[in-house]
Structure 1
Amino acid sequence: MSHDGVRLRAVMRSVAFLTAGALAVPTLAACSSDNESGKPLAGQDIAPVGRDLVADGGTLNWAVDDVPETLNTFQSDADDATTRVAQAVLPAMFRLDAQGRPQRDADYLESAKVVDTEPKQVVLYKLDQRAVWSDGREIGAADFAAQWRALSGKDSAYWTARNAGYDRIEKIERGANNLEVKVTFSRPYADWKALFSPLYPKDVMGTPDAFNDGARRKLKVTAGAFGVQKIDRKDKEIVLARNPHWWGRPAKLSEIVLHAVPLDKRAAALADGTVDLAEIDPADASRIALAGRAKGTNTPLQGASASPTSKDENKNESRQKKKLSKKQRKALAKYLRQQDALRAFTVRRSFEPAYTQLALNGSEGPLADERVRRAVARALDRTALAKVVLAPLGLPAVPVGSHLALSGQAAYADNSGALGDHDTTEAQALLTDAGWVPGGPLKDKGEKAAGAAGKKGKKSDDEADSEGGSDGQYIVGEDNKDPQDHTKKHDKASGHGGDEGSKHLADGKQYDGRKVKQGGAPGAYAPKGTAAPAGAKTGVLAKDGKPLTLRFVLPSGTGSESLSAVADNISRMLEKVGIRTEITKVSDDSYFKDHIASGQYDLALYSWPASAFPATDARPIFAKPVPAADGSLNVEQNYTRVGTDQVDQLFDQAASTLDEDESAALVRKADARIWAAAGSIPLYQRPQLTAARRTVVNAGSFGFQTPVYEDMGFLKKGAKVSPSPSSGS
């Protein structure tokens, strides 16, 4: 898994600010507009062909990060591989299309719609009469009811990671016949299409023991184009076999084998034939592109940009080879053999349904003042930062304009204007207004800190842990009122917030409830045009004898090179307005658990996934932290600790509004307020690079869309596929 932005699934002008953080939000249209939503920045890159051009049979070997600990997607340790298996073998009432919007899955559903709103919301599902489990039993109301009871949150014996939406269901009953399922809600729920996707059989959901343990290592009963044939933890692979009882379009492949292959081993696994399909990092993408060139231009002696060689150049290369040691020649020979094998692959490029953000920890220190957070945001040239990562890959370098949706999704709109564009003069004015003075006097201890502030480099985890703490203030932003809808405490068994609809894209671990002080740190927005003190130079900014230095924490593992490049550029941009940074690199294993989730950072880079249901899934990420009974602070997934009552209320309204256009408008309003609070700054949509054997079709970089497993396969002999304009060759 690449740390380019560190990996989960959420993603879109002019707003006037008043003093003391009050925000005047512009009136938003009551209906969703295609102009606002736009279209995806890049389409799928999967070598699409008609099913008549796909060979019947064959095994697709597909790389995953690891063999999943559980096959139950509703448990806290579920991961991307868990999702991949569930998509292939289980029913889903709705799947996402290429624009990240939910669409009815006709293999399971004839129809699904809200049939009543008064006195309560009622959704009627009409199932396809052919839809059966692999044991021959019809899919029906009993399965829906068992999943609701398991995920409702009413029975703590079920170790669930989330219950959002299921907790609003009042009852589930059979409709007019066995093919109808009638779901009645106790409260209106706009994101009802998110429910029952995937749907597990009642055998899995029926009892706590079956839920907690029964589906972790095996799925005996399935209902998809494939079934789980074998899980081999010794050889680290999962075998999915074609389901002979599948009633939909027959799967083209006989098997899909998911192999656990670390990111830094994937080029070798591709070259030796272990896998046919694998997400890769930019370095491996360059290797594959280089391998696709003419022979004689792909040795490390020449480099990736070498041009066709002349006789003299070949002689020079030969002389260089003779100077190599025996070990070096052996390594070179191995590299060349791999490059030869990599000619059989191409790189399919798109965007992941996720964005990379700069997180600003607002719990204490300088960033507790929203003026400083806004200054950081105004100092950033987000377009330039996007170019650092995306331009070398040939992808559009367009900054993300929303925290809650990505371009193409219904809720997307660019609300970054609520904070303001890149403007170093305004950034300096905000810092001046907050009391940070250029060239101000420093205390002795501060002078030492200032001297070290500009030095960027790696520190030990012990050094990192000694700096800063999680004790401090939590931000209430626009006001100090209690939230209207108190968020639930973390489930003790799972370590997750009760309404978790999405997961952060690193280790899946949540905030563990550290002790923090209560209080707020209100800040005023500097009037537009406020200038820094006359004649002042942008140097070390100081306040009360302390320099303005922010601790910037980054992961150090494989695939983190792009993050480091982005961080270096951010540091230079901040230095221009007088903010110094200290970059600390930590191990991937401790990055989220010991630093992000526990609040041990000032600045950090990590990613959040896009969701088709932001009112539900994004709420825990931006909910205002609330004190728990034991004095700890429940931050859910809001690792910046910046939140407001207004944002919480807008999420609640959006989740309870059954008019889809009105709900999208409320989500956009919430996003404008999130921008204004400046707790997190979306930078760019994450690139998705997938190496695929050239004969593999209907698979690669899927973008938003749920993969169609039954259409994947290998191109028939003699058939041709038109190359994608974004694919590497």
Structure 2
Amino acid sequence: MPLALAAAVSVAATACSSSSPSGGSTGASPGQDAKNAAKVASSVTDYNPQPYENIKDGGTYTTAGTFDEQGNPFNVNGTLNALRVWSWYNADAITYSPTGEVQYNPDYYSDVKVSVEGGDQKVVITLNPKAVFNDGTPIDWRAIEATWKANNGSDKEYAASSTDGYDRITSVTRGADDKQAVIAFKGVNASWSALFTTFLHPQAATVDNFNKAYVKTAHPEWGTGPYTVGTWDDHSGNITFVRNPTWWGRPGKLDKRVYVNLESAASINAFKNGELDYAPVGTAENLKQVKTVKDAEIRSGGSPFEYSLYLNTKSPLLGDVQVRKAVQESIDRAQIAKIRFQGLDYTEPLPGSSVLYSFQQGYRDNVASVLKYDPEQARKTLDAAGWQPGADGIRAKDGKQLAIGYTLLGDGPIEKATAGAFTAMLKAVGVKVDVNKVSENDFSKVLSDRRFDLFISGNRSTDPFGARYLCDFYCSDRDSNITGAGTPELDKEIRATGEIADLGQQIAAVNEVEQKALQQYSLLPLYSGPSTYGIRKGLANVGAAIFYSPLPETVGWQK
């Protein structure tokens, strides 16, 4: 869904700050199969799954977090954090099991029928007759239509995260009554559900509101669900959600859901002090500390994240594809992963794709097909491009030294070690790296303004249909392609994969095209890592759950 790429360009480049604070369907604890979990990008889940009836009434659930600059997750500047916050006071109409099976929420979608006639797909969604937005506006076919119109790309004034899929819808019309939406596609879209996991209030879908209304603020009147905004403190950054009196479905079990604005480095101490009920664990030191916390436990499993090194092709020196190729040939990804996973008792294969994980059907290691770690070859590549070593070992051409920047987000020891590793690897082939430290709060600006030469950022997949996001990573005309790479010819090939109705055939085609895209050497997948959390004992439906996010009313404290 469009939220996937909003997340794709919004995850802070540290394991600590990138993990989702909710999860869960059925699955095994990694303790049951830890050895197997270490062999592949793990598909294990661990989140204390409990049915609604097993959750206590009352209590508070508190985590670190706050609102971001852009709170509309459909917007190109929307972040993973924006999606998390959004889901607590807006519709969660479609979710997925940990392995990706579609789950319709009957509180919003009473019935869904999918048919194909004459090669074109039709989806008929019957909306719950009780469903209303908090301002009293009925949730009907107009909400589906408004969401489509804002995201289909026909009006370039909308700063939409992704138009893929929406642009293949030919119409959204009223069905038997206002509570039925008829969605007509050109061709067949097997991953259509990713388009309408949530939706916009029609008033929120005007150009001005879509782009600006959610900047550093919330609009609970346009929201819906078991919870609504209690307090939204634009001074402290703290947020509290409370039960929604207009909600028609199962009431939320919690009295309050609280986000406390803390830097990621402070969340472990807050968890140890009993101020938080959950803290992502991204380092061996954090893991050691969390293990000592009374009434807490470690939950760890597979991760729908992938972190990549982005090379800014608009930077003067990185505009040369041969320089980018040499940079990537110089990077020992296994060493970077070793640094990231040190002390976590976790290993995984090097990722080979930006859109699929190794535990998914159809996955292929596309990176290995076009690139290998080879410093000697990197030197030859730079020699051929005219970059000659100087007396200090740093290469130069036409009087200009081959010096590029690495943007370091935050100042954690692992982040510093990673920056040091990149610096050493590139120095070995004659490339100087200048490390530029920036605040975590500047993350969105770094990406939107392309204030980097080299930068690590992460993608969290919010649905299992990764193949449909190929364009968001590699198309030259997409703002979401933060490297700026691509060609009109490649764009055409990428978009042609979206015309393939069969998911298996589509994935096969995507693999072929991604190999071509990777030969632009602008993006290098680095690692996924485990999803590991310190969590208060008894907290239900929270933890590592891959593609699943629990409905808010099912999160709470086990009886």
Shorter-chain TM-score category? 0.7 to 0.9
1:146/1:202 contact within 8 Å kept:
yes
Q: Which residue of 1 aligns with 2:339?
A: 388
1:565-644 mapped onto 2 (5 Å cutoff) = 565-576=417-428, 578-588=429-439, 601-610=452-461, 612=463, 613-614=465-466, 616-624=468-476, 636-644=479-487
Counterpart-to-counterpart distance in 1, 2:69 and 2:320: 42
Q: Which residue of 1 aligns with 2:25?
A: none
- One-letter code of the match for 1:148? W
**Aligned pair in 2 of structure 1 residues 413, 112: CA closer, same or farther (>3 Å)?**
farther
1:89/1:227 contact within 8 Å kept:
yes
- One-letter code of the match for 2:274? G
- One-letter code of the match for 2:474? F
1:714-729 mapped onto 2 (5 Å cutoff) = 714-716=557-559
1:39/1:99 contact within 8 Å kept:
no
How much has 1:111 moved relative to structure 2?
4.6
How much has 1:386 moved relative to structure 2?
1.0
SS of residue in 2 equivalent to 1:240? strand
Q: Which residue of 2 aligns with 1:16?
A: none
2:337/2:526 contact within 8 Å kept:
yes
- One-letter code of the match for 1:173? T
Q: Which residue of 1 aligns with 2:24?
A: none
Q: Which residue of 2 aligns with 1:357?
A: 308
1:557 aligns with one of 399, 410, 413: 410
- One-letter code of the match for 2:347? P
1:191/1:615 contact within 8 Å kept:
no
1:53-64 mapped onto 2 (5 Å cutoff) = 53-64=54-65
**Aligned pair in 2 of structure 1 residues 598, 233: CA closer, same or farther (>3 Å)?**
closer
TM-score (norm: length of structure 2) = 0.80
1:57/1:252 contact within 8 Å kept:
yes
Counterpart-to-counterpart distance in 2, 1:379 and 1:155: 43
- One-letter code of the match for 2:515? A
**Aligned pair in 2 of structure 1 residues 673, 243: CA closer, same or farther (>3 Å)?**
same
Counterpart-to-counterpart distance in 2, 1:206 and 1:592: 27
Is 1:88 aligned to 2:88, yes or no? yes
- Higher Cα Rg, which structure: 1
Counterpart-to-counterpart distance in 2, 1:187 and 1:103: 23
Is 1:269 aligned to 2:274, yes or no? no
**Aligned pair in 2 of structure 1 residues 224, 104: CA closer, same or farther (>3 Å)?**
same
Higher mean displacement: 393-402 or 181-190: 181-190
How much has 1:692 moved relative to structure 2?
1.7
How much has 1:148 moved relative to structure 2?
3.1
Is 1:703 aligned to 2:546, yes or no? yes
How much has 1:402 moved relative to structure 2?
0.5
How much has 1:693 moved relative to structure 2?
1.6
Q: Which runs of 4+ in 1 moved over 6 A?
A: 5-9, 156-159
1:462-541 mapped onto 2 (5 Å cutoff) = none
Counterpart-to-counterpart distance in 2, 1:71 and 1:674: 31
Higher mean displacement: 143-152 or 126-135: 126-135
Is 1:694 aligned to 2:537, yes or no? yes
- One-letter code of the match for 2:426? L
SS of residue in 2 equivalent to 1:392? coil
Higher mean displacement: 391-400 or 151-160: 151-160
Q: Which residue of 2 aligns with 1:430?
A: 381
Counterpart-to-counterpart distance in 2, 1:88 and 1:247: 16
SS of residue in 1 equivalent to 2:479? coil
Unmatched runs of 5 consecutive residues or more in structure 1 = 10-37, 293-341, 451-538, 626-634, 717-729
1:239-278 mapped onto 2 (5 Å cutoff) = 239-243=240-244, 246=247, 248-278=249-279
1:5/1:563 contact within 8 Å kept:
no
1:71/1:218 contact within 8 Å kept:
no
- One-letter code of the match for 1:690? Y
1:262-341 mapped onto 2 (5 Å cutoff) = 262-279=263-280, 281-282=282-283, 285-286=286-287, 288-289=289-290, 292=292
1:375/1:431 contact within 8 Å kept:
yes
Q: Which residue of 1 aligns with 2:366?
A: 415
Q: Which residue of 1 aligns with 2:32?
A: none
Q: How many residues align?
A: 528
- One-letter code of the match for 1:666? A
Counterpart-to-counterpart distance in 2, 1:209 and 1:573: 46
1:3 aligns with one of 2, 6, 13: 13
Counterpart-to-counterpart distance in 2, 1:2 and 1:373: 23
1:191/1:655 contact within 8 Å kept:
no
- One-letter code of the match for 2:265? D
**Aligned pair in 2 of structure 1 residues 375, 100: CA closer, same or farther (>3 Å)?**
farther
1:263/1:281 contact within 8 Å kept:
no
Deviations 1:583-637 (A, max 9, x none): 3223226966776655565433333333544455442431236xxxxxxxxx723
1:223/1:246 contact within 8 Å kept:
yes
Counterpart-to-counterpart distance in 2, 1:365 and 1:155: 32
How much has 1:355 moved relative to structure 2?
1.9
- One-letter code of the match for 1:693? R
2:308/2:524 contact within 8 Å kept:
yes
**Aligned pair in 2 of structure 1 residues 707, 263: CA closer, same or farther (>3 Å)?**
same
Q: Which residue of 1 aligns with 2:509?
A: 666
Counterpart-to-counterpart distance in 2, 1:80 and 1:540: 39
Counterpart-to-counterpart distance in 2, 1:73 and 1:596: 16
Deviations 1:506-529 (A, max 9, x none): xxxxxxxxxxxxxxxxxxxxxxxx
Q: Which residue of 1 aligns with 2:36?
A: none
Unmatched runs of 5 consecutive residues or more in structure 2 = 1-10, 20-38
Q: Which residue of 1 aligns with 2:181?
A: 181
Counterpart-to-counterpart distance in 1, 2:176 and 2:508: 36
Higher mean displacement: 669-678 or 592-601: 592-601
Deviations 1:542-569 (A, max 9, x none): 656766x34231225244x323212322
**Aligned pair in 2 of structure 1 residues 580, 693: CA closer, same or farther (>3 Å)?**
same
Counterpart-to-counterpart distance in 1, 2:188 and 2:520: 29
Q: Which residue of 2 aligns with 1:655?
A: 498
SS of residue in 2 equivalent to 1:607? strand
How much has 1:59 moved relative to structure 2?
1.4
**Aligned pair in 2 of structure 1 residues 155, 589: CA closer, same or farther (>3 Å)?**
same
Q: Which residue of 2 aligns with 1:41?
A: 42
**Aligned pair in 2 of structure 1 residues 556, 116: CA closer, same or farther (>3 Å)?**
closer
2:74/2:160 contact within 8 Å kept:
yes
**Aligned pair in 2 of structure 1 residues 611, 2: CA closer, same or farther (>3 Å)?**
closer
Q: Which residue of 1 aligns with 2:225?
A: 224
Counterpart-to-counterpart distance in 2, 1:153 and 1:620: 13
TM-score (norm: length of structure 1) = 0.63
Counterpart-to-counterpart distance in 1, 2:117 and 2:283: 50
